[in-house]
Homo-oligomer: A and B are copies of this chain.
Amino acid sequence: MIGFPASLERLVQLFTRLPGIGRKSATRMALKLLTSPEAECAELAGAIMDARTRTIGCSICGGLTEDDPCAICSDARRDPSTVCVVERPSDILALERTGRFRGRYHVLGGLLSPLDGIGPENLRIDRLLDRLEGKTIAEIILALNPTAEGEATALYVARLLSQRGINVTKLASGLPVGGELDLADELTLGTALDERRAV
Contacts and interface: CB of A to CB of B under 8 A. Distances in A.
Interface stretch (A45-53, A125-133, A151-159): A45-53
B53 A2 contact: no
A184 interface: no
Interface stretch (A33-41, A162-170, A172-180): A33-41
Interface stretch (A6-14, A111-119, A135-143, A186-194): A6-14
B96 A11 contact: no
B90 A55 contact: no
B38 A53 contact: yes
Nearest to A98: B1
Contact of A29 (B19, B45, B49): B19
Interface of A: 1-8, 10-11, 14-15, 17-21, 25, 27-34, 36, 38, 40-55, 64-66, 70-72, 88-90, 92-93, 96-97, 99
Contacts of A28: 18-20
B2 A92 contact: yes
Given A21-B29, A28-B19, A43-B14, A54 B5 contact: yes
Contacts of A1: 96-97, 99
A93 to B, nearest CB: 7
A46 B19 CA distance: 19
Contact of A33 (B18, B43, B88, B93): B18
A55 B5 contact: yes
Contacts of A6: 66
Sorted nearest first, the 10 A-B pairs with minimum C-beta distance are A45-B45, A11-B51, A41-B52, A7-B54, A5-B66, A11-B47, A7-B51, A18-B29, A7-B50, A45-B48
Nearest to A44: B14
